[in-house]
Amino acid sequence: MKVVKEKKIKQKKTGKEGTGKVRRTWKRSNDKVRDVLHSVAFLSPSVTGVAVFFILPFLVVVYSSVRRLVYSFSGPVTGLCSSIQSMYSFT
């Protein structure tokens, strides 16, 4: 029985020692970026729905209330009684 000796093949040096570690780090960071982009893609419809059906109507109500209060103080304000009257006057 013959024993076959394995020859070690020397790899040629290309001047890129350690590129495996860099590539692994680059791939890992790309995976993180992809994961974040996938998360944003799945989360964006929910955020859009909350903005359209909760935040936007809330801001419209606040704007309407403030606008009504600002325009109700068009006359001279002399005290608390006058301000209360102007707030509840609808003319």
Low-confidence ranges of the chain (pLDDT < 70): 1-22, 26, 70-83, 86, 89-91
List all residues 6 or more positions away from 86 whose beta carbon is below 8 Å from its beta carbon: 72, 73, 74, 75, 77
DSSP state of 55: I
pLDDT tens digits, residue range 55-67?
999 999 888 888 7
Q: What is the pTM assigned to this prediction?
A: 0.42
What per-residue confidence (pLDDT) applies to 63? 87
In whole angstroms, what is the distance from residue 75 CA to residue 82 CA? 9
What per-residue confidence (pLDDT) applies to 30? 85
pLDDT tens digits, residue range 9-19?
665 655 555 56
Q: What would the two tokens of residue 62 be?
A: 């606040």
